[in-house]
Amino acid sequence: MHKLLGIVILLFALNCKSSENKAKMTKEAIVLIGKGNLYGSGSEGIEKQNLIITSPKEWKDLLNKMNAVNKVSDSFSETDIDFSEYTVIAIFDEIKNSGGHSLNLVIQETKDKFLVEVLRKSPDGIATSVMTQPYYIVKVPKSELPIVFE
């Protein structure tokens, strides 16, 4: 009888732990760090890319590049990231010849991956004549699931 009770308690504990891990990937757990445009006409040296940042060094290197022309990170919600708990996803679009361009992300967790859909918005009608490079940066709880971009 005691063995049966022990097995039931163990199964209950394991089940609670797995649902606790699942709850970490809610929309509330995804934190917007910053979004907008770089205005250095490419002087920052950042190409169109999707980045997965998992270390303080990678993060510091990115911040230094982004701040090379304008101090972009001053508008970020945070710059001190605990990489033992979080992963940073940074999306950069190509350099545009006008203003009004932006990025948005739709992030979903499936049973076998963490899916990031990048949505690009172009200006409607006449736009300002300025070189811009849209970016979007979020932090998400660290997960064993692979991050896949669409």
pLDDT tens column, 45-73: 999 999 999 999 999 999 999 999 999 99
Both tokens of 21, joined, read 């891990």
Instruction: Report the share of the chain in percent with pLDDT over 90.
Output: 69
Question: What totals of helices (H) and strands (E) does the chain contain, helices first?
Answer: 2, 7
pLDDT tens column, 69-93: 999 999 999 999 999 999 999 999 9
Does 10 have pLDDT greater than 60?
no
What DSSP string describes 96-118?
Answer: BSSS--EEEEEEEE-SS-EEEEE
Alpha-carbon gap, residue 69 to 89, rounded angstroms: 22
Q: Tell me the domain boundaries of the chain.
A: 25-149
pTM, entire model: 0.80
Does 1 have pLDDT greater than 60?
no
